[in-house]
Amino acid sequence: MLGTVDLWTYLVATVLIILLPGPNSLYVLSVASRRGRRAGFAAAAGVFCGDSVLMVASAAGLASMFAASPVLYNLIRWAGVVYLGWLALGLVRAGWKSWRAARRGDPIMTAQAEQGERGERPFVRALIASLLNPKAILFFVAFFVQFVDPTYAWPVLSYAVLFVILQVCSITYLTTLIITGDRLAQTFRERRRLSAVGNGLVGAVMIAFAAKLATG
């Protein structure tokens, strides 16, 4: 179909890969659970745009660029590690502040913690995290080419088909996470300590992701 091969294999593999926990999906769920559905969709839009850029770069020959310059890939990998670690520490710090505010019953500290969350800019953070995620880069570089017929006259159409399938699966999954997170947000608004613990746990998991990327 339009220069693609083993399309059903690609679909199954894409679904399985998307369902694997990762920093992007975890961040979208975290934003939705802390700030509600609108912020969650802003984060999801950042992931969508980041994946789109990586997809276009892959079609334009990103694989050849990395093959010619492993140093470039390592630079991107470490930039991703540092940025993911920074995001994670921010979540842990916000969780700690919220916990202290809830424990003391301090409305001023609670308001400050909520103000910090409102200034988070989830679209920008998700976009940068997506662009600097070396695992996502490898996915687009090494995975897509296996399902494109090299003899097809219009490879752009082949990549477009694979791109649409990927993004439909990704949007469906992220929407499910956002709806789930929005329901959690209603509970977190009433239970600030639970929200603080959630922030801390998400931050800790993202630190683990950053450590894995650093050693991978």
Residue 209 lies in a domain: yes
Q: Residue with structure tokens 């088909």?
A: 161
Contact between residue 181 and residue 33 where contact means Cβ atoms under 8 Å apart: yes
Residues 122-139 have a mean pLDDT of 82
Q: pLDDT tens digits, residue range 41-59?
A: 999 999 999 988 888 877 7
Domain that holds residue 97: 7-215
- 86 in any annotated domain: yes
pLDDT digit string, tens, across residues 168-189: 999 999 999 898 878 776 665 5
* 127, part of any domain: yes
Which parts of 36-144 fold into alpha helices (H)? 37-59, 62-68, 70-104, 107-118, 122-131, 134-138
Count CB neighbours of 7 within 10 A: 14
Q: Is residue 1 part of a domain?
A: no
Rounded Cα distance between 211 and 203, Å, is: 12
Asked whether residue 135 is assigned to any structural domain, the reply reads yes
Per the structure, the count of domains in the chain is 1
pLDDT in tens, 140-166: 766 777 777 777 777 778 888 888 898
In a domain, 188, yes or no: yes
Does residue 40 contact residue 31 with C-beta atoms inside 8 Å?
Answer: yes
- Tell me whether residue 2 is in a domain: no
The answer to whether residue 108 sits within a structural domain is yes
